[in-house]
Amino acid sequence: MKLNNIYLEKVIIEALEEDIGFGDLTTDYLIPSTHRSSGKIIVKEDGVVAGVGVARSVFEAVNSKIEFKAMVRDGDQVRAGDVIIKITGPTAGILKGERTALNFMQRLSGIATKTCRLVTKVKDFPVRVVDTRKTTPTLRQLEKYAVRVGGGYNHRFGLYDAVMVKDNHIKAAGGIKKAVTTLRRNIPHTTKIEVEVTTLTEVEEALEAGADIIMLDNMDIETMAEAVKQIEGKALVEASGGIDENTIIEVARTGVDVISVGALTHQIESLDISLNLDSD
């Protein structure tokens, strides 16, 4: 997955405007514009790096004279203490871009690290670990990019690029069959339909309606395994709902095709990363 440059530029400018505002009161009145420094961005715990290019773009936006040398690439495994970036240039620019660059890298690396842990646990199963729409508003593309960096896959990006019939849609439409029938009549012929189910009865209804993908939502392992047998390859099977590092292997063993985990993007710990200027 490649980040959209227009989107990235907009997000970075908004983040810098949020932080710098009318100016950096500390740096602007303390550091001469001619002052130059060198520094290192260091990772302080083990993990997977993501957002190197984003950090580069942040510093370029602040001051194009800043020299940015990446020692790693997105997706690389790093150890605590590793120097991942070397930076040289106008001190004021480095200081103004520091927090924004680190905020992006820390969060994206945290997502990539968590994703990698889950993907590694089920590497011996023919299953994909995917994200959800539970992302930080305006940062969805970046966070889904970090999932890919960590070895995971992306679910739909928004309401606009896939059909997913959830419980409230079913209630409003008057049932699974009515919902699927109406959608088939109105959506493009190239679009697949996913239906969320919670019981084996609803699994049968989704199959009879001709759903292309059936999401097993918050099912226990036994029911999930039975649902997979019931579907018998007639539709793609997705498992979702409260799946974590402790349960993901059991879920994979049921034979589902896809495991979606909202926690990849909304319950993560940022990776600890810092920037240290070299001493004169």
Q: Is 223 annotated as a binding residue?
A: no
SS3 196: strand
Q: Give the gyration radius of the chain's Cα atoms.
A: 23
Q: What are phi and psi of 234, to 5 degrees?
A: -75, -15
Q: Is 166 annotated as a binding residue?
A: yes
Active site residue 131: no
Q: Is 156 annotated as a binding residue?
A: yes
Q: Is 229 annotated as a binding residue?
A: no
Active site residue 44: no
Q: Is 108 exposed, middle or buried, given 0-12, 13-18 or 19+ CB atoms closer than 10 A?
A: buried
Q: Is 128 annotated as a binding residue?
A: no
Among residues 10, 44, 69, 166, which one is catalytic?
Answer: 166
**Given its phi and psi angles, is residue 75 left (phi above 0), alpha (psi -120 to 50 degrees) or beta?**
left
Find where tokens 């083990």 sit. 46
Q: Is 242 annotated as a binding residue?
A: yes
Return the closest-CA partner of residue 68 out of 44, 45, 98: 98
C-alpha distances in Å from residue 21, one per residue of 24, 53, 90: 8, 23, 19
Q: Is 21 annotated as a binding residue?
A: no
Q: Is residue 199 a contact partner of residue 176, using CB atoms and an 8 Å limit?
A: no
Q: Is 196 annotated as a binding residue?
A: yes
Q: Is 274 annotated as a binding residue?
A: no
Active site residue 166: yes
Q: Is 51 annotated as a binding residue?
A: no
Among residues 74, 205, 217, 238, which one is catalytic?
Answer: 217
C-alpha distances in Å from residue 197, one per residue of 38, 82, 133, 157, 175: 56, 46, 18, 21, 11
Among residues 117, 121, 134, 253, which one is catalytic?
Answer: 134
Among residues 99, 128, 184, 253, which one is catalytic?
Answer: 99
Q: Is 80 annotated as a binding residue?
A: no
Among residues 74, 196, 202, 238, which one is catalytic?
Answer: 196
Q: Which residues are annotated as a binding site for substrate?
A: 99, 132-134, 156, 166, 196, 217, 240-242, 261-263
Q: Which residues are annotated as a binding site?
A: 99, 132-134, 156, 166, 196, 217, 240-242, 261-263
Give the active site residues: 99, 134, 166, 196, 217
